[in-house]
Amino acid sequence: MAIDNAKHIIGEIDGIRCTIIETGATLERSAFLSDLLSFNNLEIKEMQEASEVPGEELKYTIGVTDLIFNPVFAIYERQLKTREGSFVTPGYWKQECIECDPRYWMRRKTARKTSDG
């Protein structure tokens, strides 16, 4: 589930109804999310997706057994924490940064001033 879409998706993994967190995740992404969510006391379920192309990297579906959990709300309501004790930000969830500025709404200006001299 991308965090720019708050649609709550319910699915079944290993015969257990789950809130689907993400589909098509790589092994690295799956490990990151599993560690983060289990640290926040959520029971994780993973399922390997069937690949139509032989030799393609394995993809995974990740879910949690808490049917009312919504990662979008959990992130923006500051309900999830990292192992370091800080709140999970959208950038951290997307793995764009490790120590993200919690003021996610502020954009850093990257324009440089140039001077002709």
Q: Tens digits of per-residue pLDDT, 82-95?
A: 999 989 988 889 98
Domain segments of the chain as ranges: 10-93
Task: Quote the pTM value.
Answer: 0.79
At residue 40, the 3 state secondary structure works out as: coil
For residue 15, the number of C-alpha atoms closer than 13 Å in the C-beta half-sphere is 0
Amino acid (one-letter) located at 85: G
* Separation of alpha carbons 86 and 77, rounded Å: 13
* Separation of alpha carbons 112 and 91, rounded Å: 23
Please give the pLDDT value at position 33: 95
pLDDT band at 111 (very low <50, low <70, confident <90, very high): very low
Q: Is the pLDDT of residue 1 over 70?
A: no
Top pLDDT among 37 and 105 is at 37
